[in-house]
Structure 1
Amino acid sequence: MAEIRTPHYHNSGGYPAIRVGAREFMCIGAAPPYDHPHIFLDMGGDNEIVCSYCSTLYRYSSELPSGSADPIDCVWAADAAHAL
């Protein structure tokens, strides 16, 4: 299986905002199989962005490791059952 290099985040927990350690990432909405189309979001020089599908507010945090999130359960990792 190909390695995912772009972080993927979801908001299955319905959090009002998610802090992320990346300015460029994919939002998948909720965890599969309840996901929306996986869309690429790029904050550019901004520190926050809203997903146009699910309205999740993402806030960049330089304190988080690249690809991480707070809450941590918002990071989605592909496995054999959920390959992209």
Structure 2
Amino acid sequence: MAQTLVPHFVNDKGVDRILIGVKEFQCMGAAPPHDHPHVYLDMGHDEQIVCPYCSTLFVRDAGLDATESEPPGCVFVATAPPGAPAA
């Protein structure tokens, strides 16, 4: 069974709208430790959705892929803390 990673987005910049290249994703609000509950959002047939926690408007842009956002830097990438064992 193939697994698809669901991208996570953050709004550390505090913008009203973030353009993304996917219709299913998780919003974290801000990067940890200031994140809100990670909520799964699905636009369905729509092209935009508002996060019920942080009120960020996410708009699908077909020109972006799952690892891009506008403004740049809103895709959350988890990193291991220094000294953590490799997976």
Task: Tell me if TM exceeds 0.5.
Answer: yes
Give the corresponding residue for 1:42: 42
Q: C-alpha distance in 1, partners of 2:52/2:70?
A: 20
Q: What per-residue deviation string (whole Å, max 9, x for no partner) do you get for residues 42-77 of structure 1?
A: 000100000000000000000101232111211100
Which is higher, the Rg of structure 1 or of structure 2? 2
Amino acid at match of 1:45: H
Contact preservation (8 Å) 1:22, 1:67: no
Which is helix-richer, 1 or 2? 1
**Where has structure 1 moved over 6 Å in runs of 4 or more?**
none
Give the corresponding residue for 2:23: 23
Q: C-alpha distance in 1, partners of 2:44/2:68?
A: 18
Amino acid at match of 1:12: D
Give the corresponding residue for 1:7: 7
Give the corresponding residue for 1:62: 62
Q: C-alpha distance in 1, partners of 2:46/2:63?
A: 16
Amino acid at match of 1:7: P
- Aligned-residue sequence identity (percent) comes to 47
Give the corresponding residue for 2:73: 73
SS at match of 1:74: coil
Q: CA RMSD in A?
A: 1.6
Q: How many residues align?
A: 79
Normalising by structure 1, we get a TM-score of 0.88
| Unmatched tracts of structure 1, length 5 or more | none
Normalising by structure 2, we get a TM-score of 0.85
